[in-house]
Amino acid sequence: MIFNFVEGGVLDEIGNNRSIDAMRSVQFRQRAFPNVSNMNLSSSILGKETRVPFFVSPMGMLGMVHPHADPGVAKAIAEAGGVFIHSAWSGVGLPEVVQAAPGQVWAQAQFWKDRSYTEQHLDQAESLGVNVLVLPGDCTVGEERERELYHGLNRLPPILTLPDLISCAMRPRWVAGYLLGGRRVTYGNYAPGGRPLKMSEMKPFMKNQKDRSVSWKDVRAIRERWKGKVVIKGVMCAEDARIALDLGADAVYVSTLGGRQFDRQPGTIEVLDEVVEAVGGRAEVYCDGGVYRGADVLNILSRGATAAGIGRAAAYALAAGGRPAVSQFLGTLTDELQTAMAFCGVQSISEIDASIRRSFSDAVS
């Protein structure tokens, strides 16, 4: 059930599979006798020095996956030298996450119908010293995630099916850890009436607060109000990248939300070149979708993006072993990135460009 919550995309899952397939179709030009004496992955993301050119993408409800949840992942990526983006749909409030990884957390905000929830979230982020806000351009509507229907996760608390109960019984260690972990399922950022939402109140809250009228005007309003940096997530074409820049975005973030909103999409890596070209160096560009290996990060950077986002891969590590497993995974990803860079004949992030890739026509001939 938990695996399917993380793994699932919408409808036929064409979009998610496409991002993964497109990401893996890259071929790099191998160089002989790579010089690896001076490998350096340090970089800068929105003015912040980082030791790795990647971050963990925002993911809601990580507390369902493992009680270490967002603070565990935030600590792991901060120790690895990257940044954590806290989801607007997180089960853990922003203060606990910022405390786990001071200075390394960005906040995602959502445009709720009652904008006072959005406003309070922004005020809180500001008072905690968070200086980067991530706005999702792709969460106004969404298609169905059918794996969640199968497991009864469309209702909260979920109504477990017999196969799910058997599956839980076969994983006593995970279940015990989960039950003893003391992490309640709720939306950590919102406390209408002064108390956290109960699990049974979460779906109605989302439904009532969904604002179908959200537009770029709302982005403009937030841009005028928020003193820090603004990142627009879910940009999948040149036109939207230009609009985001005209409204004063500091970065555009190519993402299909992991194929969890709209199924008939290109893979993110397939539109990255178009977006990078439209941005033309006036802002930073990020990309996620199908990043599981160091070579995937390299693929993204070779197209002119500043950083790559990691979604499911970090969630699987969290599910398997909490914070230590996320640290182990991030260490492996970093090693893989170094090795792939070495084979491409580059030792630092600034040396990475399109020349490290073979073009598809080379590949065919």
Ligand X SMILES: Cc1cc2nc3c(=O)[nH]c(=O)nc-3n(C[C@H](O)[C@H](O)[C@H](O)COP(=O)(O)O)c2cc1C
Binder among 310, 325, 333, 346 for ligand X (CB under 6 A): 310
Answer yes or no: are the C-beta atoms of 307 and 41 closer than 8 Å. Answer: no
* Residue 58 makes contact with ligand X by CB under 6 A: yes
Q: What is the dihedral of CA 73, 90, 184, 329, to 10 degrees?
A: -20
Q: Ramachandran region of residue 302, left (φ > 0), alpha (ψ -120 to 50) or beta?
A: alpha
Nearest-angstrom CA–CA distance, 345 and 53: 18
Q: Which lies closer to ligand X via its Cβ, residue 8 or residue 304? A: 8
d(CA 111, CA 127): 19
User: Within 13 Å and on the Cβ side, how many CA atoms surround 121?
Assistant: 31
Size of residue set near ligand X by CB under 6 A: 24
| Phi, then psi, of 97 in degrees rounded to 5 | -75, -40
Taking the complex as a whole, the smallest distance from the CB of residue 256 to ligand X amounts, in Å, to 7
Confirm or reject binding of residue 258 to ligand X (CB under 6 A).
yes
Q: Is 137 in the site for ligand X (CB under 6 A)?
A: no
What is the C-alpha separation between 74 and 62, in angstroms, rounded? 11
Q: Does 59 bind ligand X (CB under 6 A)?
A: yes
The answer to whether residues 302 and 356 touch, using CB atoms and an 8 Å cutoff, is yes
Give the interface segment with ligand X, choosing from 94-102, 160-168, 274-282, 305-313 (CB under 6 A): 305-313
Q: Is 302 among the residues that bind ligand X (CB under 6 A)?
A: no
| 290 makes contact with ligand X (CB under 6 A) | yes
For ligand X, the closer CB: 249 or 346: 249
Give the nearest distance from C-beta 211 to ligand X in angstroms: 16
226 near ligand X (CB under 6 A): no
Q: Is 15 in the site for ligand X (CB under 6 A)?
A: no
Binding residue (CB under 6 A) for ligand X from 291, 301, 308, 341? 291
Output 243 or 333, the one with its CB closest to ligand X: 333
Span interacting with ligand X, options 34-42, 142-150, 174-182, 251-259, rule CB under 6 A = 251-259
Q: Which of 72, 81, 93, 136 binds ligand X (CB under 6 A)?
A: 136
Which of 43, 87, 131, 306 binds ligand X (CB under 6 A)? It is: 87
- Enter the tokens of residue 140: 């106004």
Under rule CB under 6 A, residue 72 binds ligand X: no
Which residues have CB under 8 Å from 360's CB, separation 6+?
Answer: 25
8 A C-beta contact, residue 132 and residue 107: yes
Answer yes or no whether residue 312 interacts with ligand X by CB under 6 A.
Answer: yes
CA-nearest of 261, 265, 245 to 253 is 245
Place of tokens 């099916």: 161
Contact pick of 50, 57, 189, 334 for ligand X (by CB under 6 A): 57
- Number of neighbours of residue 176 by Cβ within 10 angstroms: 10
> Which residue is it, tokens 């190519």?
254
Question: Minimum distance between the CB of residue 137 and ligand X, rounded to whole angstroms?
Answer: 9
Instruction: Tell whether residue 267 is a contact of ligand X (CB under 6 A).
Output: no
In sequence order, which residues have a C-beta less than 8 Å from that of residue 93 and are 6 or more positions away? 188, 189
Q: How many CB atoms lie within 10 A of CB 239?
A: 11
Nearest approach in angstroms of CB 361 to ligand X is 27
Which listed residue (55, 89, 178, 329) binds ligand X by CB under 6 A?
89
Smaller CB separation from ligand X, 87 or 347: 87
Is residue 156 a contact point for ligand X (CB under 6 A)?
no
Nearest CA to 240 out of 134, 131, 138, 311 is that of: 138
Where do contacts with ligand X occur on this chain (CB under 6 A)?
6, 19, 57-60, 87, 89, 108, 136, 233, 255, 257-258, 260, 288-291, 310-313, 315
